[in-house]
């Protein structure tokens, strides 16, 4: 007997066997029961989700010679059903629009539409990949769908619904086929493996289902391929060899090296993968999936419902997740995802992966705002571990060290009592300051009341003039320059186009505000940045960075004069920037500078 591939052998032949598309089959079954079928259907969805199979089952149900009022499922035993199953029925015509996409083919189809069915009651035309038709062919098809004969039924199938012209879509009943869930695909593969006597673990079937990305046909095809490779005894090793997948042990090993911040071992690990012939782009993709599993294990109580893997690997994931913070796992996903995208256009993908691992293991290699904040936290942990005496601290996004009077280190280590007395005095001083502030506020309120009474007696015009007079706060330009990298980062998060325009500006002080200076000839930059919503975004970013509002103006200047009077301000953050920003924002005072060596960090 001639061998038939598994996905053809186990193609659904009744509505009940179509998995994952209940919203489609339920509608069609009810329409058949009520005898209210449409003359045109449009099935849209990803590949391998059952569009063509559903179309054939519907064609059999319309022409089945043994259908009854109780059951509308095709019998698959009558002459009509058997011919449709063999693709030899004269009443069901299946057309591949990818190879028959011209107007001549549609004209030939138009001539055949008016022939009455010879065996069944309906003549069914299944047009697969209908989006491949030309514009002229679509227009010819439109006339047939608009005014078809009573015996004709059109079933159009496509994977790219956006390419089908709206006039065709509006004349069809549209059904959107969804990707099949992993659990449903695993159940289907398990049943096929049982009937074909294929030995395979459920965890391996889950990997096959994930690799198919929601396509039942692809998953059954992979099962068939693996069964031929391993003589119907599919093992995880055979799976990794056929699909070029990375063994889970390798992923866990590299992740452990990243946790230990061992850059040298990570680079040696990549070198060993190259020697063993691994596809580094595929490996990077699987590392992204591994860190996704770690992030899920950190943030959820029941990761087993989302992560489809073996119980042993799940336990190892939970243990590994305990050594990560959420932002670390997410940062690894972002960095590896960007590396994966760059690999598509790079000639040296190994270099890109090595750079990503260096940035994950070397904190000083990360110059982003998040990386700098993380380094500040690590520095404060080191400083805090060395100091035994308690120091009052306020916890914000970045913990600050408040200014303290200079104290001898020896006395700090032994003089706990002196430290307690100092804290007590500080509390008393704080209470005294608060009392003085409250008294000053009361005096200001009394003055305001008296001023209001005087204003009521004044002329209305005079009141209006006085109301316009407001003292403008002075603006510290140096402070804004130090905080400008933060401002640019916030503008970038809010609007990439505005960020690209702001890269070309220079900063200049003007009265109580600032002037954004553009080089002469940059009229487009000036016009766009001067728009109200863009100015509002810049003001919002500045206020978020320095805590105060600033008036903004934009102007053009000559390139040479602008460079003499101003400086370009789109520089990266530095350590001095961060220290100055902490002093500006929190009034911090530098007590001690400590350099963390590699030995201390380990």
- What share of the chain has pLDDT > 70, as a percent? 73
Kindly indicate whether the domain formed by 6-176 is annotated with CATH number 3.40.50.300: yes
CA–CA separation, 436 vs 432, rounded Å? 6
Cβ pair 293, 303 in contact under 8 A: yes
In the block, residue with structure tokens 């209210």: 36
pLDDT at position 277 is 84
Contact 535, 552 (CB under 8 A): yes
Confidence of residue 177 (pLDDT cuts 50, 70, 90): very high
User: By CB neighbour count within 10 A (0-12 exposed, 13-18 middle, 19+ buried), where does 364 fall?
Assistant: exposed
Q: What is the pLDDT of residue 67?
A: 80
Comparing CA positions, the residue from 440, 401, 391 lying closest to residue 592 is 401
342-389: pLDDT as tens digits: 999 888 999 999 999 998 888 666 666 666 766 676 677 677 665 544
- Within 8 A by CB and 6+ apart from 262, the residues are 361
Which carries the bigger pLDDT value, residue 512 or residue 231? 231
Q: In the CATH hierarchy, which top-level class contains the domain 248-361?
A: mainly alpha
The pLDDT-based confidence of 601 (bands split at 50, 70, 90) is very low
**CA-CA distance, 64 to 81, in Å (whole number)?**
6
Q: Per-residue confidence at 156, pLDDT binned at 50, 70, 90? A: very high
Which of the four CATH numbers 3.90.730.10, 3.40.50.720, 3.30.300.180, 3.40.50.150 does domain 477-571 have?
A: 3.30.300.180
pLDDT, one tens digit per residue, over 328-342 is 888 899 999 999 999
Q: Taking residues 398-405, what's their average pLDDT?
A: 45
CATH number for the segment(s) 182-242: 1.10.8.60
Predicted model pTM: 0.55
Domain ranges in the chain are 6-176, 182-242, 248-361, 477-571
Structure token pair of residue 540:
């919002």
Give the tokens for residue 483. 């905080």
Query: Quick check: 148 and 154 in contact, CB under 8 A?
Result: yes
Average pLDDT, the chain: 79
pLDDT in tens, 71-106: 789 998 999 999 998 888 889 999 888 888 888 888
Please, is 556 exposed, middle or buried when counting C-beta atoms within 10 Å of its C-beta (0-12, 13-18, 19+)? middle
The pLDDT, as a whole number, for residue 188 is: 93
């Amino acid at each position: 007997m001639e061998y038939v591939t598994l996905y053809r052998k186990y193609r659904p032949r009744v509505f009940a066997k179509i998995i994952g598309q209940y919203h489609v089959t339920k509608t069609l079954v009810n329409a058949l029961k009520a005898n209210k079928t449409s003359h045109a259907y449009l099935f849209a969805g990803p590949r391998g989700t059952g569009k063509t199979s559903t179309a054939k089952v519907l064609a059999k149900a319309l022409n089945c010679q043994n259908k009854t009022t109780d059951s509308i499922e095709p019998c698959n035993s009558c002459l009509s059903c058997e011919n449709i199953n063999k693709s030899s029925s004269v009443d069901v015509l299946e057309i591949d629009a990818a190879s028959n996409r011209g107007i001549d083919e549609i004209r030939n189809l138009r001539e055949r539409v008016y022939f009455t069915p010879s065996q069944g009651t309906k003549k069914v035309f299944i047009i697969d990949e209908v989006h491949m038709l030309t514009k002229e062919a679509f227009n010819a098809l439109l006339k047939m769908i608009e005014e078809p004969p009573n015996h004709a039924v059109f079933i159009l199938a496509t994977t790219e619904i956006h390419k089908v012209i709206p006039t065709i879509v509006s004349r069809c009943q549209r059904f959107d086929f969804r990707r099949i869930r992993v659990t449903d695909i695993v159940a289907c593969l398990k049943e096929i493996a049982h009937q074909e006597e294929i030995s395979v673990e459920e965890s391996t079937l889950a990997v096959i289902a994930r690799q198919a990305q929601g396509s039942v046909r692809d998953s059954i095809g992979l099962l068939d391929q693996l069964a031929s490779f391993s003589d119907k005894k599919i093992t995880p090793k055979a799976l990794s060899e056929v699909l070029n997948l990375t063994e889970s042990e390798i992923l866990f090993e590299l992740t452990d090296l990243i946790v230990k911040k061992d850059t040298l071992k990570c680079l040696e690990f990549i070198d060993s993968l190259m020697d063993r012939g691994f596809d580094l782009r595929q490996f990077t993709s699987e590392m992204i999936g591994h860190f996704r599993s770690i992030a899920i294990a950190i943030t959820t109580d029941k990761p087993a419902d989302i992560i489809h893997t073996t119980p042993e690997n799940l336990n190892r994931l939970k243990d590994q997740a305990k050594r990560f913070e959420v932002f670390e796992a997410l940062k690894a996903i972002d960095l590896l995802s960007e590396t994966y995208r760059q690999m598509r256009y790079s000639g040296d993908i190994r270099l890109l992966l090595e750079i990503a691992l260096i940035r994950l293991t070397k904190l000083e290699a990360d110059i982003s705002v998040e990386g700098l904040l993380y380094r500040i936290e690590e520095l404060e942990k080191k400083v805090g571990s060395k100091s035994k005496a308690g120091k009052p601290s306020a916890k914000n996004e970045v913990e600050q060290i408040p200014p303290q009077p200079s104290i001898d280190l020896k006395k700090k280590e032994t003089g706990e009592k002196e430290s307690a007395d100092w804290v007590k005095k500080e509390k008393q001083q704080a209470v005294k300051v608060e009392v003085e502030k409250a008294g000053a506020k009361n005096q200001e309120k009394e003055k305001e009341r008296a001023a209001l009474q005087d204003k009521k007696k004044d002329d209305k015009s005079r009141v209006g003039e006085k109301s316009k007079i407001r003292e403008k706060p002075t603006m510290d330009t140096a402070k804004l320059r130090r905080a400008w990298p933060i401002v640019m980062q916030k503008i970038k998060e809010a609007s990439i186009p505005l960020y690209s325009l702001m890269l070309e500006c220079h900063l200049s002080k003007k009265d109580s505000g600032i002037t954004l200076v553009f080089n002469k000839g940059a009229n487009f930059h000036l016009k766009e940045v001067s728009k109200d919503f863009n100015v509002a975004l810049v003001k919002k970013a500045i206020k978020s960075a320095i805590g105060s509002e600033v008036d903004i103006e934009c102007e053009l200047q000559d390139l040479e004069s602008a460079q003499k009077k101003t400086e370009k301000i789109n520089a990266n953050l530095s350590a001095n920037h961060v220290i100055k920003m902490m002093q500006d924002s929190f009034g911090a005072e530098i007590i001690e500078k400590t350099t963390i060596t590699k030995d201390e960090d380990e």
